[in-house]
Amino acid sequence: MPTPLYWQSKANRYNLVGEICDRCGTRLFPPRDVCPECEAPAKTPFVFSGRGKVYSYAITYNAPIAFEEYIPYVVALVKLEEGPLISAQLTDVEPENLQIGLPVEMVTRKLQESGDAGVIMYGYKFRPSLHRQVSPG
């Protein structure tokens, strides 16, 4: 990711800032100009809680360029509490402990280093939730 683009998208990557549609209330991540549900403009910022559940996941053993040093790593679809389904890397979990429905929370972590200058890029990943809900009973 080019450095200027990285800085322009900082709020989305550090705080999960998306948008909410003023017409139908759909919460969008990442932000987009038009609501996919009702086609109205979606311009009101919305900060997501960062909590959700693993919807699906895959373990990556053959990584793209610049990510080889991190293999194996887990990429998941996370269903946020507020509705959107987003893709993200999972961290702080062993593959044998993964399961669909695992409660997770967003954390800010190193994504990669860029070029010889060693610019370190950070963004969101998800880890197993430290605040899991306890079932009554």
Q: Identify the burial level of 78 via C-beta atoms within 10 angstroms of its C-beta, where 0-12 means exposed, 13-18 middle and 19 or more buried.
A: buried
- The type of residue at 6 is Y
In a domain, 22, yes or no: yes
Give the mean pLDDT of 24-39.
91
Radius of gyration of the chain, Cα coordinates, nearest whole angstrom:
16
pLDDT of residue 137: 41
In a domain, 69, yes or no: yes
**pTM reported for the whole predicted model:** 0.79
In a domain, 8, yes or no: yes
In a domain, 62, yes or no: yes
In a domain, 137, yes or no: no
In a domain, 135, yes or no: no
In a domain, 134, yes or no: no
Q: Mind listing the pLDDT tens digit for each residue in 43-58?
A: 899 999 999 999 999 9
Domain range for 113 = 3-128
Q: How far is CA 132 from each of CA 38, 53, 73, 100, 101, rounded to the nearest angstrom?
A: 34, 11, 23, 15, 12
Give the mean pLDDT of 69-93.
92
Tell me how many domains the chain contains.
1
In a domain, 136, yes or no: no
pLDDT of residue 109: 84
